[in-house]
Amino acid sequence: MPLTSFTPQQGFPNFKSLTYPTTVVGTPVVTTATTPVTMTVAQLLGGLLAVDCQDAGTLTTPTAALINAAIPGAAVGVSFEVDVINYGDTTLTIGLGTGVTKFQHGDAVAVNPSWASCGRCHLCRSGEENHCLYQKRIRAPGVGYDGGHAPYVLVPDARFLVPIGDLDPVVAAPLTDAGITTYSAIKPALPSIWPGSTAVVIGIGGLGLYAVQFLRQLTGARVVAVDRAEARRTLAREYGADEVVCPGAADQVRELTRGVGAAFVIDCVGVDATLAMAVSVLAWRGRLAMVGAGGGSVPFDFFKVPPGAQLATSLNGGSIALMEVVDMAALGRLKVLVDRYPLSAAKTAYDDFQHGRLVGRAVLMPAASAGVDLVSTASPRIAAVTGA
């Protein structure tokens, strides 16, 4: 296949520059035809989400890979979980640059979104590409690059691919964002979360459900889930929380810990009120990790933060985190809660997210995928949480 240059797009999803060579859908092999193929994509134009047809594009460099999310039977279509803008791709490899040696045509893969990483610094070599020392700004699928709201995804370098084996791609899709985001926030805190201590998860949605499960699987701590919705608190118990409380119930958390406070708090919301609660329940030398991008803040004051406490933000995760989370899911240690939408109903998925109707993660399904229900309706899980 001829290689051509590829200029990343600025801003949010924009597929107008992409042109892929003709591909036979259903066969994980790229043809040598040069006639462009048209694909259906979802993109943000002027702040509005639109589903439209665009030309597809070509391989970027000798290390690039072209992957297809719409191969029936081989990879049930997976594009994206919609509650974080344009992250989360698991697809089938159908085109490889001449320099790619570790993957073959037809490999099922998940895509690590840390595309701004250099691949050479200490943290990149440690598998923490999300903390690359030389990245100047966030660049990922849909943020500076064309993203995954389409049947095809053009990955700039094969080092961002992680094999998923026989794992259902629909299960794997949310792991590339919600899974590794919460896992990467929790993993550094594990040495300080001892058996019998308390870990608090604030916000039981697409992120929080993973946080509850990771804390349950990886620690011996009491897991306390915080959410304002009774249905979500009930769901948290089903997913492993030992206790559930309402927002603002800091005194209740203190009582559960006999006044000690929580060794670890993960805030999956990130607004002023949740951060204030997080600090108020934190134990001395506790750790607060903020993964919710709600725009909130909390005073970092000598007398308002518990002595020895650590306050950290955490953004997504690297390739090692993605490998480990995929392996956990393959072993059946994680429950992955998804609602499926056809790609043509991307706007409905966003509307459900915006109005709080999503419970877990929404996954867009390319129309060519096998077993896709093209009628998008609220699932029983959405109805249970919203009262619909």
Strand partners, 154: 66
- Is residue 232 domain-shared with residue 195, that is, in the same domain? yes
Q: Grade residue 122 by pLDDT with cuts at 50, 70 and 90.
A: very high
- Is residue 190 domain-shared with residue 292, that is, in the same domain? yes
Write phi, then psi, for 137 (nearest 5 degrees): -155, 170
Query: Residue 357 belongs to a domain with what CATH number?
Result: 3.90.180.10
Q: For 40-98, write each residue's pLDDT tens digit.
A: 566 655 445 444 444 444 554 565 655 555 433 222 222 233 322 223 455 555 566 66
With respect to residue 230, please indicate whether it lies within any of the assigned structural domains: yes
Q: For 307-332, write each residue's pLDDT tens digit.
A: 999 999 998 999 999 999 999 999 99
- Is residue 47 domain-shared with residue 105, that is, in the same domain? yes
Least-confidence region, from 28-32, 253-257, 309-313: 28-32
Q: Which long-range contacts (CB under 8 A, 24 or more apart) does 312-316 make?
A: 312/185, 312/188, 312/287, 312/288, 313/289, 314/181, 314/184, 314/185, 314/289, 314/290, 315/130, 315/138, 315/181, 315/291, 316/87, 316/113, 316/114, 316/130, 316/140, 316/177, 316/180, 316/181, 316/184
For range 137-151, the mean pLDDT: 74
Among residues 274, 293, 313, the one where a domain terminates is 313
Locate 372 and state its tokens.
């896709």
With respect to residue 5, please indicate whether it lies within any of the assigned structural domains: no
Q: What's the per-residue H, E or C state across 239-287? A: CCCCEEECCCCHHHHHHHCCCCCEEEEEECCCCHHHHHHHHHCEEEEEE
- Is residue 78 domain-shared with residue 203, that is, in the same domain? no
- Is residue 270 domain-shared with residue 328, that is, in the same domain? no
Contacts of 99 (CB under 8 A, 6+ apart): 61, 62, 63
Domain coverage including residue 294? 181-313
- Is residue 188 domain-shared with residue 308, that is, in the same domain? yes
Among residues 313, 329, 352, the one where a domain terminates is 313
**Cα 55–chain centre separation:** 27
**Cα 263–chain centre separation:** 25
- Is residue 110 domain-shared with residue 150, that is, in the same domain? yes
Task: With beta carbons less than 8 A apart as the criterion, state whether 67 and 155 touch.
Answer: yes
With respect to residue 44, please indicate whether it lies within any of the assigned structural domains: yes
- Is residue 351 domain-shared with residue 307, that is, in the same domain? no
Among residues 245, 279, 313, the one where a domain terminates is 313
For residues 61 and 187, give the distance between their C-alpha atoms in angstroms, rounded to a whole number: 34
Least-confidence region, from 81-95, 275-289, 293-307, 370-384: 370-384
With respect to residue 29, please indicate whether it lies within any of the assigned structural domains: no
For the CA atoms of 234, 85, 372, 335, the dihedral, rounded to the nearest 10 degrees, stands at -30
- Is residue 120 domain-shared with residue 240, that is, in the same domain? no
- Is residue 173 domain-shared with residue 215, that is, in the same domain? no
For residues 130 and 283, give the distance between their C-alpha atoms in angstroms, rounded to a whole number: 28
Least-confidence region, from 30-39, 176-185, 219-228: 30-39
Whether 145 has a pLDDT exceeding 70, the answer reads yes
With respect to residue 242, please indicate whether it lies within any of the assigned structural domains: yes
Domain count for the chain? 2
- Is residue 171 domain-shared with residue 188, that is, in the same domain? no
Query: Residue 209 belongs to a domain with what CATH number?
Result: 3.40.50.720
With respect to residue 24, please indicate whether it lies within any of the assigned structural domains: no
